[in-house]
Amino acid sequence: MKEFCFHAEREFMGALLRPHSPMMKFLQGAEEKLEEITTAAYNAGMQLIQENKIHQELLDTVSQPLVPMENYVRSRE
Are 18 and 63 contacting, i.e. CB atoms less than 8 angstroms apart?
Answer: yes
pLDDT reading at 66 higher than 80: no
CB atoms within 10 A of CB 57: 11
Torsion of the alpha carbons at 32, 34, 36 and 42, rounded to the nearest 10: -150
Domain holding 63, by residue range, is: 2-75
The residue ranking higher by pLDDT, 3 or 70, is 3
Query: Who contacts 18 (Cβ-Cβ below 8 Å, separation ≥6)?
Result: 24, 37, 41, 62, 63
pLDDT digits (tens, 9 = 90+) for 3-25: 998 999 988 887 777 777 777 77
- Total domains present in the chain: 1
pLDDT reading at 73 higher than 80: no
Average pLDDT in the 30-42 region? 88
Task: Say whether pTM exceeds 0.85.
Answer: no
